[in-house]
A and B are shown apart, each in its own frame.
Chain A
Amino acid sequence: MRNQRIISSTFLYLLSIIALVAFIFPFVLLIINSFKSNGEILTSPFALPEKLDFSQFIEVYNLMNFGVTFTNSFIVTTLSTFFIVFFSAMAAYHLVRRPSKFNKFFFTVLVASMVIPFQSLMIPLIYIYGAKLQLIDAIPIPLLIIFYLGFGSALSVFMFHGFIKAIPIEVEEAAKIDGCSTLQTFFLIVFPMLKPIAVTISILNVLWIWNDYLLPSLVLNHPDVYTMPVQMKVFNGTYMNNWELLIPAILLTVIPILVMYIIGQRSIINGVMQGSIK
């Protein structure tokens, strides 16, 4: 019995280490190749670099216009996420507490909209806001944020909705009696209670928006407004086959989100877990 346990736990360890290697080796491969010259990369991708030379990173940093691109991604991601969380919480609160016919109907529409593929919306989207209203080139970044607010609302409202349903209404009623308006009640009493689910929703939205490519590629047509994935795509097109530049570029694109993950891994994993239960 004891032996069997040891064997089975050794087996589990072995399996998990194999999986670990499979999940980590692409990152290791990128890091070791980011310091090499093109020739070394192509002839021996698995060898360790001879020296730690950061000059390619500096070159790529400049070529990618990293400061501007990172700022664009940062602005789009944080503003979109902030407003999604804020507006969705308010909407979900209203939908739960005021179950009028219209509100019930709207909630159903929101939930149902989650099965609409983005591909079914993108052509009219570009058609309306590009060709007809000419907004895509006038205000690309604000427009992109507005699009994220629209596309992000369904899932976020849905998740807040489930969470708010479980909050007892008595607290709010007490606040009302004390003379709080609906708005005050929401911000002073309800919103603080939503923190766990708000964290979850923020994480999901940040991961999605930071990495999204197709929508920004349709909206952002000028280098000054590129986000990281769009810049990466253009960079890949320009320096096709030039791996000594491409690999550092990939790393520079990935590092910000990895840093965020290393700092907040516990809340990120817990956040995703929370989200799935609802």
Chain B
Amino acid sequence: MMKKRKNLGDIGNSALFLGPTLLFFSMTVLLPFAYGLFLTFNKMDTPADPVQFAGLLNYISAINDQEFWKSMWLTVRFVVATVFFVNLVGFGLAYLVTSGLRIQNTLRTAYFTPNLIGGLVLGYIWQFIFVQSLPALGTKLGISWLELGWLGDPTMAFWSLVIVTIWQTSGYMMIIFIAGLISVPKELIEAAKIDGAGPLKRLLNVTLPLMVPSFVVTVFLSLKNAFMVYDLNFALTAGGPYGTTKMVSMHVVNKAFIESNYGTGQAEAIILFIIVAIVTGVQVYTSKKMEVQA
């Protein structure tokens, strides 16, 4: 009898503490995920139609969708470029603001500022820079490669997206690196100094290996952000010129909500999920391994 009441109390407590999170998480993540999977195996031209089993049809049309793979490949290149540069610049900034400059707190505040602004608004801001301001500057100073807007050329439009992403997110990574840098024991650095190691050597042999935990976080974050980029892509280039900068996220959104091809769109979204899961999984696993070895 006693025991039973206690159990009931436990259930009550569980419902109280876990209930809300369980409910909302299920409503917005678990249920749509499961339903989304279910939908990919069915025909869904319009949501009003009765559900009709379609086997792998949606996946087949996703796999045959050349535009999808084109946007995926573009996204992969974007991921590689941004993960590399965001971490490089982020680490560089962190190094700068922990090297004892008198204005380092001001610098830190300033470098972080772009993170406060969402991708959509950033896209509009930089559109003004790439389309209006730089060409005006180029004309005034006679720099011919600046005279024409950057977003009209596929390669330059791609790098514009990369540059804005670096500008937006490296301040955030900087903060994470600062946390890592200040936890590097001073004694180790001093010891290396006494051993005659120069600044570069100290950085490579002492500091960097100890920074691996920070890199696990920053690489994970920058990977995930880059794979899912939409707002910036939408606002800055809108996929242009002539569809050459359409990332996978935009492709899926357009497929579903503009072309009304929900089935294929969702199948492509699932493929994207699998790729992201594998890539981030491998990244976290291998870098955790590095961490242990270091």
Contact = CB atoms under 8 A, between A and B. Distances in A.
B117 interface: yes
A214 B235 CA distance: 11
Contacts of A27: 113
Interface in A234-278: 236, 243, 246-247, 250, 253-254, 257-258, 260-261, 265, 268-269, 272-274, 276-277
Contacts of B99: 12
A268 B157 CA distance: 33
Contacts of B118: 210-213, 229
Contact of A150 (B18, B27, B125): B27
A261 B265 CA distance: 38
A146 B167 contact: no
Nearest to A90: B17
A184 B253 CA distance: 46
Interface string A15-45: 1100110111011011001000000011111
B205 interface: no
Contacts of A229: 118, 120-121, 231
Contacts of A218: 257
Nearest to B274: A120
Interface stretch (A55-63, A64-72, A151-159, A166-174): A151-159
A138 interface: no
B39 A124 contact: yes
B33 A124 contact: yes
A23 B159 CA distance: 17
B130 to A, nearest CB: 11
A105 to B, nearest CB: 12
A128 interface: yes
Q: Which of A22, A115, A157, A260 has the most CB of B within 10 A?
A: A115
Interface residues of A, number: 91
B151 interface: no
A261 B112 CA distance: 10
B241 interface: no
A6 interface: no
A207 B116 contact: yes
Nearest to B251: A119
A88 B97 CA distance: 34
B290 interface: no
B175 A272 contact: yes
A232 B121 contact: yes
A153 B33 contact: no
Nearest to A127: B47
B145 interface: no
Contacts of A119: 228, 230, 248-249, 252-253, 269, 272
B235 to A, nearest CB: 8
Contacts of A182: 13, 17
Given A30-B125, A113-B29, A258-B116, A120 B270 contact: yes
Contacts of B27: 146, 150
A147 B28 contact: yes
Nearest to B120: A213
A116 interface: yes
Nearest to A27: B113
Interface in B1-46: 10, 13-14, 16-18, 20-22, 24-33, 35-36, 39
B217 interface: yes
A150 B96 CA distance: 38
14 contacts: A9-B100, A13-B101, A15-B96, A16-B96, A30-B125, A43-B136, A83-B20, A94-B18, A123-B256, A150-B29, A211-B119, A212-B118, A250-B125, A268-B112
Given A186-B17, A233-B120, 6 more contacts: A122-B253, A124-B35, A132-B47, A151-B29, A229-B120, A265-B109
The 7 closest A-B pairs by CB, nearest first: A150-B28, A211-B118, A94-B17, A124-B36, A131-B47, A91-B21, A276-B176
